[in-house]
Amino acid sequence: MNNAQLHKEPYQNTTVTTRVPLHLKQRWQQAAALRGLTLTDFLIAAANNATGNVFEEKDRIELSERDSLLLAEMLSRPPKVNETMRRAIQKRLKNMSEA
Protein backbone atom coordinates (compact mmCIF):
# COMPACT_ATOMS: atom_id res chain seq x y z
CA MET A 1 0.00 0.00 0.00
CA ASN A 2 1.55 3.29 -1.03
CA ASN A 3 1.07 6.78 0.33
CA ALA A 4 -1.55 7.73 -2.28
CA GLN A 5 -3.63 4.63 -1.51
CA LEU A 6 -3.62 5.39 2.20
CA HIS A 7 -5.09 8.85 1.67
CA LYS A 8 -7.73 7.91 -0.94
CA GLU A 9 -9.82 5.93 1.52
CA PRO A 10 -12.22 8.00 3.64
CA TYR A 11 -11.64 7.45 7.34
CA GLN A 12 -11.98 9.13 10.67
CA ASN A 13 -8.71 10.14 12.21
CA THR A 14 -7.76 8.76 15.58
CA THR A 15 -4.51 8.73 17.46
CA VAL A 16 -2.53 5.75 18.69
CA THR A 17 0.30 6.49 21.07
CA THR A 18 3.00 4.01 21.97
CA ARG A 19 6.42 4.10 23.54
CA VAL A 20 9.19 2.32 21.67
CA PRO A 21 12.95 2.20 22.00
CA LEU A 22 14.69 4.96 20.05
CA HIS A 23 16.58 2.48 17.87
CA LEU A 24 13.29 0.96 16.65
CA LYS A 25 11.82 4.34 15.79
CA GLN A 26 14.96 5.28 13.89
CA ARG A 27 14.91 1.99 11.98
CA TRP A 28 11.21 2.47 11.10
CA GLN A 29 11.93 6.01 9.92
CA GLN A 30 14.70 4.75 7.66
CA ALA A 31 12.45 2.05 6.21
CA ALA A 32 9.64 4.58 5.69
CA ALA A 33 12.03 6.92 3.88
CA LEU A 34 13.16 4.06 1.62
CA ARG A 35 9.51 3.54 0.66
CA GLY A 36 8.84 7.25 0.25
CA LEU A 37 6.34 7.22 3.11
CA THR A 38 5.89 9.16 6.28
CA LEU A 39 6.51 7.21 9.45
CA THR A 40 2.77 7.25 10.19
CA ASP A 41 1.84 5.90 6.75
CA PHE A 42 4.57 3.27 6.98
CA LEU A 43 3.35 2.07 10.38
CA ILE A 44 -0.29 2.03 9.24
CA ALA A 45 0.62 -0.07 6.20
CA ALA A 46 2.77 -2.45 8.26
CA ALA A 47 0.08 -2.88 10.91
CA ASN A 48 -2.56 -3.40 8.24
CA ASN A 49 -0.46 -6.10 6.54
CA ALA A 50 0.15 -7.83 9.87
CA THR A 51 -3.57 -7.69 10.64
CA GLY A 52 -4.42 -9.27 7.30
CA ASN A 53 -1.94 -12.06 7.97
CA VAL A 54 -3.52 -12.79 11.35
CA PHE A 55 -7.00 -13.08 9.85
CA GLU A 56 -5.78 -15.20 6.91
CA GLU A 57 -4.08 -17.55 9.35
CA LYS A 58 -7.26 -17.72 11.46
CA ASP A 59 -9.42 -18.52 8.43
CA ARG A 60 -7.11 -21.16 6.98
CA ILE A 61 -8.59 -24.64 7.16
CA GLU A 62 -6.25 -27.24 8.53
CA LEU A 63 -7.23 -30.86 8.13
CA SER A 64 -6.21 -33.53 10.57
CA GLU A 65 -4.31 -36.49 9.13
CA ARG A 66 -7.48 -38.61 9.37
CA ASP A 67 -9.55 -35.95 7.58
CA SER A 68 -6.89 -35.59 4.88
CA LEU A 69 -6.90 -39.32 4.20
CA LEU A 70 -10.72 -39.39 4.09
CA LEU A 71 -10.79 -36.47 1.64
CA ALA A 72 -8.18 -38.12 -0.59
CA GLU A 73 -10.18 -41.36 -0.61
CA MET A 74 -13.42 -39.55 -1.45
CA LEU A 75 -11.74 -37.68 -4.32
CA SER A 76 -10.19 -40.86 -5.73
CA ARG A 77 -13.55 -42.71 -5.68
CA PRO A 78 -16.34 -40.25 -6.49
CA PRO A 79 -19.93 -41.51 -6.23
CA LYS A 80 -21.65 -42.77 -9.38
CA VAL A 81 -23.85 -40.33 -11.24
CA ASN A 82 -27.49 -41.04 -10.39
CA GLU A 83 -30.58 -39.88 -12.28
CA THR A 84 -30.96 -36.69 -10.22
CA MET A 85 -27.35 -35.72 -10.92
CA ARG A 86 -27.72 -36.60 -14.61
CA ARG A 87 -30.75 -34.28 -14.92
CA ALA A 88 -28.90 -31.49 -13.10
CA ILE A 89 -25.92 -31.83 -15.45
CA GLN A 90 -28.16 -31.77 -18.51
CA LYS A 91 -30.00 -28.70 -17.20
CA ARG A 92 -26.72 -26.91 -16.52
CA LEU A 93 -25.33 -27.74 -19.96
CA LYS A 94 -28.55 -26.52 -21.59
CA ASN A 95 -28.39 -23.24 -19.62
CA MET A 96 -24.75 -22.75 -20.60
CA SER A 97 -25.49 -23.30 -24.29
CA GLU A 98 -28.34 -20.78 -24.17
CA ALA A 99 -26.20 -18.09 -22.60
**Could you tell me which of 11, 83, 81 has the C-alpha nearest to residue 41?**
11
The residue with greater pLDDT, 69 or 61, is 69
Q: Give tens-digit pLDDT for 18-39.
A: 999 999 999 999 999 999 999 9
Mean pLDDT calculated for residue range 55-59: 83
Residue extents of the structural domains in the chain: 3-98
Q: Which fold has domain 3-98?
A: 1.20.5
Residue 2 has pLDDT above 70, yes or no: no
pLDDT of residue 26: 97
Task: Kindly state the DSSP code that residue 81 receives in the 8-state scheme.
Answer: P
- Tell me the whole-structure pTM to 2 decimals: 0.52
CA trace torsion 17, 21, 26, 32 (10° rounding)? -40
